[in-house]
Amino acid sequence: MNAYRFKGVLVLIMALFLLQGKAQNARRTEVVIKTSVECDKCKKNIESKLSKVKGVRKVTADYTKHEVKVMYNAKRITLEEVKNAIANIGYDADDIKANNKLKALEHEKKKEGDGN
């Protein structure tokens, strides 16, 4: 009888872990956003700053394609908020223009000075 009870508890625990994993994955959303990322410094900048935004799980920028892949928790942040966060960092995000053109200009000046 104890063996049956143990198996039942084990099956119940496994089912709970599986359901928890599915619930977490259901909240995660991954999108690719066209952006004005132009160089390795831009890539590092956007990855560093955007990954600190609450709800953002993973950020991968590709300056050769001018895009950012973002995995985020849709229960904590919306796609529009992700795009606005990118714009606030100083880069275009799909149809949303960068909010701080000064950041982009400063970057261009630094880029010209470094020769990168």
pLDDT in tens, 55-66: 999 999 999 999
Report which of residues 3 and 66 the model is more confident about.
66
pTM: 0.68
The encoded tokens of residue 28 equal 């995660």
Residue 100, phi then psi, degrees to nearest 5: -120, 85
39: nearest Cα among 114, 94, 101, 97: 114
Task: State the pLDDT at residue 110.
Answer: 62
Domains in the chain (CATH in brackets) are 27-114 (3.30.70.100)
pLDDT per position as a tens digit, 61-80: 999 999 999 999 999 999 99
| Confidence bin at 50 (pLDDT 50/70/90) | very high
Instruction: Kindly report which listed range (35-39, 89-93, 102-106) carries the lowest average pLDDT score.
Output: 102-106
Name the DSSP class of 116: -
Q: What pLDDT, on the 0 to 100 scale, is given for residue 81?
A: 96
Q: Could you give the count of Cα atoms lying within 13 Å of 14 in the half-sphere of its Cβ?
A: 6
Average pLDDT for residues 10-29, to the nearest whole number? 66
